[in-house]
Amino acid sequence: MTPDPRTAAERGHWDVVGRLVRAGTELDHVNDLGWTALHEAVILGDESAPYQEIVRVLLAAGADPSIADSDGVTALEHAESKGQGAVSRVLRGAG
């Protein structure tokens, strides 16, 4: 089983996410809820600096922000609905 960055993303461990990315882990693995690591960082995160960095690291490594969860909602749409302006800007490429 190849480790994936979702658990580290949900817990705010940007450094672990970075190590997993460098190790070649699958960035867009989807769990039973339809969440990727980007979804985990937004939905379970608090928009603090570590979560913003996780989103940056994942995007820089090629994570696909257009993937919708099982409800049809992207990480950007979750960020916007939660009022996470800084994370929304990162997901749009402006932050």
In the chain, where the domains are located: 6-23+30-92
Mapped onto helix, strand or coil, the DSSP state of residue 72 is coil
pLDDT digits (tens, 9 = 90+) for 48-89: 999 999 999 999 999 999 999 999 999 999 999 999 999 999
Helix 49-60 vs helix 85-92: angle between axes, to the nearest 10 degrees?
Answer: 10
Q: Among 6-15, 28-37, 56-65, which stretch is predicted with the lowest mean pLDDT? A: 6-15
SS3 for 33?
A: coil
Query: What pLDDT does residue 94 have?
Result: 66
CATH 1.10.540.10 for the 6-23+30-92 domain, yes or no: no
